[in-house]
Amino acid sequence: GRGEVLMGKWLGAFIALAVLFTPCFIVVIFVGASHALIAFVMADLWALLGMYAGCLLYMGVFISLGLLVSVHSSGAGVALARALVVWALAIWIVPSFAPYVAAALSEGKPALMVEANISRTRFTAEREGWAEVARFIRDRGWGEHEEANWNLDWGTWSDAVPRLQAVLADEADKVALAALSTEVMRAQLAEMEEVAARLKAGHMRDRHREVKLGQMLACLSPLGPLTFMLTDLAGTGVAGEFHFRAGVERFKGDLVAYLHRQLAERSMWEQVEAESFPYFTYRPEVEKAGAEVLVYPLILLLYAIGFFLAAYLRFARAEI
């Protein structure tokens, strides 16, 4: 019957492509494994098998799509022209414009505006902190010292405190200045970090929604689910980017907690050991790609089955 003919064409094309693709894929794996900087583990092998299966599904999608274009065309020239149009739409136009459409549909402030608001908050907190320290300096009668007349255009006010301490004769005055400035710095740091964290969290939520919307729109093309599946299995791409950003935010939180702890335990101008500073570490969590990756091969499978069924229905009704 016609169904067997169409299935035979699909299987023949699929086997031909798979026979060509499989050796190339194996060679690439061996070349990568032979590199001194690459050490495959079991999790990497499972990820590679997932990538291989995703590529085979992608081939199946375009074989089904090719059959669909073929049964709707009366000649080879028309079929080729329509195939080129479909390719441009599915592989070029839809994935390329999906991020722009998502950005236009999403609400939220641009990153530069968020950074500007954070900088404005920090400058305001810096100015208020220096005003409090300067008032303390005037009350103590240290205003005649050149180091006490600090301009914030020259740098942060914390740069002025050690300069003023160096010219004060009384040790008690130095201790009082250090205690007051440390307390002001602690309050200023808390205010700055609270506002910055709130603004950044809101911006990241907006960006996350925008990226997810862009991914959904890109999945209107078969190239979208394939790309997201491969990059998620590799720990790169969208999933890797969010994982990296989460690591950066955790590091920032550790650094702020460290600074608060140091300000609580000692004066901010006392020497600290460099080894005690927190440091940033990052490792792609390929093994934690998550259940979300399984959505993409299902989308590819639906495309392959849907295009094939559409081709079969058209072929079954066609006059021969």
Q: Whole-angstrom Cα distance, residue 247 to residue 231?
A: 18
What confidence score (pLDDT) does residue 1 get? 63
What confidence score (pLDDT) does residue 46 get? 82
| 296: phi then psi, degrees, rounded to nearest 5 | -70, -45
What are the C-alpha distances in Å from 54 to residues 57, 60, 298? 5, 10, 10
pTM over 0.75: no
Residues with Cβ within 8 Å of 65's Cβ and at least 6 positions away in sequence, in order, are 86, 90, 222, 303, 307
Structure tokens at 49: 């098998």
3 state SS for 106-169: CCCCCHHHHHHHHHHHHHHHHHHHHHHHHHHHHHHCCCCCHHHCCCCCCCCHHHHHHHHHHHCC
Estimate to the nearest angstrom the gap between the alpha carbon of 224 and the chain centroid.
17
Residues with Cβ within 8 Å of 297's Cβ and at least 6 positions away in sequence, in order, are 50, 53, 54, 57, 225, 229
Residues with Cβ within 8 Å of 55's Cβ and at least 6 positions away in sequence, in order, are 21, 25, 226
Q: Which residue has the tokens 């669909």?
A: 68
What are the C-alpha distances in Å from 144 to residues 154, 160, 161, 173, 245? 19, 14, 15, 15, 48
- pLDDT tens string, the chain, 320 residues long: the values are 677 888 898 999 999 999 999 999 999 888 877 877 777 776 678 888 889 999 999 999 999 998 888 888 777 788 888 888 888 888 889 999 998 898 888 776 777 777 777 778 777 777 777 777 777 777 777 666 666 666 655 556 666 677 666 767 677 877 777 777 777 777 777 777 777 777 777 888 888 888 889 999 999 999 999 999 988 888 777 777 777 877 887 888 788 777 777 766 665 556 666 677 788 877 665 545 555 688 899 999 999 999 999 988 888 776 55
Residues with Cβ within 8 Å of 200's Cβ and at least 6 positions away in sequence, in order, are 114, 118, 249
What confidence score (pLDDT) does residue 195 get? 76
**DSSP label at residue 191:** H
